[in-house]
Amino acid sequence: MREPRRTPGVVVMTAAGLLALLAPTLSSAPVRASTSRASMSARAEGRSAWSGVYTAAQAARGEEAFRACTYCHGRDLKGGDDPPGPALRGEIFLMRWRERSVGDLYVRIAETMPKNNPGGLTLQGYADVMSYLLQANGLPAGMSELPADPEALGQIGLAPATGAR
């Protein structure tokens, strides 16, 4: 099988599951090792991002901060081809990330986005944008904010909670 590397757009449409496993290793960094270990324990403990892990106020701040992203990902987060940017909401996006943690997604964004200005937001800004992405994908708000801490975010799995709690 051809390995769909970083071809924007196309990548997301094809072999989503396989790519979900390969993609994060493409831009590896020290912090990633610790967050992926953390995401293993997130699954073991069953704490889910679907249990209310950000607040509505935080997501509202995140929507503001997301202006740095709309140029490529669209105001509706549906993405586009010109300039290229994958959709950040919907089935395909959720399927790509469901086996990983909020921390994995946070690190991916904080290290590589905005693509034209990586690291351009504050860590708090990235946490806020992260909460906006959760909201836009239909995950419920809760009582406490997402912390700007990859280690803590690594404890929160993106898959819906299974069975107990």
x/- mask, ligand HEC, residues 28-67, rule CB under 6 A, reads: ----------------------------------------
**69 sits near ligand HEC (criterion: CB under 6 A):** yes
Residue type present at position 35: T
Site string for ligand HEC, 14-33 (x = CB under 6 A): ---------x----------
Q: Which amino acid is at 44?
A: A
Residue 164 C-beta: closest distance to ligand HEC, Å:
29
Instruction: Scan for tokens 């995950």, then name that residue.
Output: 139
At 48, the amino acid letter reads: S
CB of 84 to ligand HEC, least distance (A): 5
Contact of 4 with 14, CB cutoff 8 Å:
yes
Please name the residue ranges forming H helices in the chain.
Answer: 10-13, 16-26, 30-45, 56-65, 70-73, 91-97, 102-112, 123-136, 150-153
Query: Using CB under 6 A, which of the segments 29-37, 47-55, 71-79, 149-157 binds ligand HEC?
Result: 71-79
Q: Give 33's contacts (C-beta < 8 A, 6+ positions apart).
A: none
Nearer Cβ to ligand HEC (46/63): 63
Which residues contact ligand HEC by CB under 6 A? Answer: 6, 8, 12, 23, 68-69, 71-73, 83-86, 88, 93, 96, 108-109, 112-116, 121, 129
